[in-house]
Structures are given as structure tokens and as C-alpha cells.
A and B are shown apart, each in its own frame.
Chain A
Amino acid sequence: MSNQLVMYEEELQQISNICDVLQRDSNAKAVLVIDKNGQAIAHSGEVEHLDVTSLSSLTAGNVAATGGIASLLAEKEFAGQFHEGEKTNVHISIVGARVILLVLFDERSSLGLVRLRVRKAAAELTQVLEVLVKKSEAGNQPSVFAEITDDDIDNLFND
């Protein structure tokens, strides 16, 4: 299937490190890296009380809707969004046209600081994603599906 996103240990570690640094340097509550289709990839910070799966899906839906608005207005995309809450603010940016960087922050930080740190993190993330895409396309990594048999799939659905 084309356009499949595959994540390997090495790159996930690098992405997690970028999240950790961003979260620390921007004084953010939490940082999430989300695939544009709504799958959570990595996170850092105070996520214990967050529903990461739902947050990822809704953020991707939000970005998709904003992208739809952009194309109606003949814009390529709106690269960033900011939502201001009473306690928590949300900064959303698209990185490498492929993933979404979500930063949750409160009064311990500021929009300016978050923007500044996001710019640096986004540049680093872009590089990791480029390597990841090349690695996926090269297809020289063993695929989990090569080992899976039809019986394995059948067994998953046996009650």
C-alpha cells in the first residue's frame, strides 16, 4: 500500500528527544507529535491525564479542516494555529507537510517563547522525517507483514 508511514526505534527515539527538549525549553505542559491522519507518534511532558488518542484525532481533524479552508482561499496551507484558553493554550504547527506538532502551555510560558522553540524543533523534526521517509521507501527493513500468515489474520477474528 502506498504512502504507508513506518516508524523505527531509532527515529522514534530522535523524535522523542526533540519533544523532550522542546517541552523543557519552552516551559510547555506537554508536546505531542501527531501524524496528519490522526495517529499519535510521540509525546512529552504532562500527558498522564490527557486522552492522547482523542487529542491526536481531533487535532488532525482540526488541521485537515483548516487545510480545507486554506485551499478554498487559494492558500497553500496555514502553517500554524493558536488557541487561547483560560488555563491552557494550544499551539499547532505542521512540520514537513507530514506531521503535526502540538504544544500545550499555560502561564509558565508565552506564545512568543513557544513559537521560537517550535521553529527550532520543527527544523530538527523535518530532518528526522526525511530520513524516515527515505528508509521506508528503500524498503530494506524487514516487514512485519512478511511473517504474518493468513491463519494469523483469521485467528485474530476467531471469537
Chain B
Amino acid sequence: MSFINYSSREINCKIVYYGPGLCGKTTNLQYIYNKTNPEAKGKMISLATETERTLFFDFLPLSLGEIRGFRTRFHLYTVPGQVFYDASRKLILKGVDGVVFVGDSQVERMEANIESLDNLRTNLAEQGYDLDKLPYCVQFNKRDLPNSAPLEELTEVLNPTKVPQFEAVATKGVGVFDTLKAVAKLVLTELKRGS
């Protein structure tokens, strides 16, 4: 749910990075955090376990510049990817304006990708959202690994609706900002369309 503040002239939106455990959602946010100017970002918060697995969420507030005198601020969240944290994932999806599905390109993670994407659809539907009507992008991460599945196969299985998709190596930053820009643009375009 976007929050438009006419008093402080700000547009605030929420983007959620979703995907199976260890697919690189937190790594996406960490890269964005490390490469963004200090004045454009707030503190990155990670509610993680001792072994650095996301327990509840990661949060990164980001300022993307001004449109017609309105500051555009995006709150980026990740969900915990592990299957048993489903209750937490549902909470984080509340009020979402845009979604990035981060898929793990490794062949052996295909099942986990499919399960997570199904889970995304189900959890969104529970909140009254339809993934096909939300601003939504897909990122295929870990493209540098030797055991990655062919892009055609990933596209067919994980992006049948042909939303914007990006190949990424989040640890090196490849595709990270392309994905963020694409989803942010879709969110703003949707807000404009709905106005």
C-alpha cells in the first residue's frame, strides 16, 4: 500500500523480494546498500539467526530521487525463504506495492523455486492480491554457477506470464540494479495508472 504524503511531498512504496531459501534475496539488498550513496539510503536492518539466515525480514529504505517535486522513497523488504517461516512471509506481504521473485538458477533448486513461487501466489491471494495484477519482476540469480539451468527452462517454468526478467549474480552485483529499477518503475507506473 503506497503512502502519499502531500505535506512532506513524499511518495512511499513497499517492494518485497521473495524466493526460496538461500536464493540471494538478502544479498540483493546488501549489494544495493553497499552501492548507494549515504544520503539516498537509511540503515539496513536484518533480523537474522546466528547463522545469518533471515529470521523475519531484511529492511532497506531507499530514496530514488524526485518526480515533480515529490521525493520517491522505496522500502525494500526480503522474506525469510525457509519453508517453515510461512507465517512471517504472509505478514511481510501486507501492503506490498511490488514484488521481485528471486529464483535460484541451480538445477537442483528448481523444485524449491517452484514451491516458493506457488507459495507467493497463495500468500498474496490470502491478502486479496493477484500476482498477475501486481507490479512484478523475476530475477534468475547465481547465473555464474556451473550447475545453472538453461535460461529458457527457467523462463518457461518460473516466468510463464513473461514479466520483465533479469539474469543476475547478486554477489557481484550483476543484474541487481536492473531488477530494482524495473520493479520500481512498474510500481510508479501502476500508481499513475490507478490515479
Using CB atoms and an 8 Å cutoff, list the residues of chain A in contact with chain B.
1, 3-9, 12-13, 35-39, 41, 51, 53-54, 57-58, 61, 64-65, 67-68, 72, 141, 143-148, 150, 152-154, 156-157
Cross-chain contact of A7 among B4, B56, B195 (Cβ < 8 A): B4
Assess the A8–B6 pair: CB atoms within 8 A: yes
Query: Contacts of B162 on A, CB cut-off 8 Å?
Result: none
Mostly, the B contact residues are mixed
For B, the interface residue count at a CB cutoff of 8 angstroms equals 45
Residues in B whose Cβ lies below 8 Å from that of A67: 91
Residues of B within 8 A of A156 (CB): 64-67, 72, 185, 188
Count, A-B residue pairs, CB within 8 A: 122
Q: Kindly state whether residue B171 has any CB partner on chain A within 8 Å.
A: no
Q: Is the CB of B1 within 8 A of A4?
A: yes
B residues within 8 Å of A by Cβ? 1-8, 11-12, 14, 42-43, 45, 47, 56-57, 59, 61, 64-68, 70, 72, 75, 87-88, 90-92, 94-95, 97, 181, 184-185, 188-192, 194-195
Contacts of A61 in B (CB 8 A): 47, 56-57, 59, 91-92
Q: Give 16 new A-B contacts, CB below 8 A, not counting A13-B7, A144-B11.
A: A6-B4, A6-B6, A7-B6, A7-B7, A9-B6, A37-B95, A53-B42, A53-B43, A54-B45, A65-B88, A144-B68, A147-B68, A148-B188, A154-B185, A157-B64, A157-B185
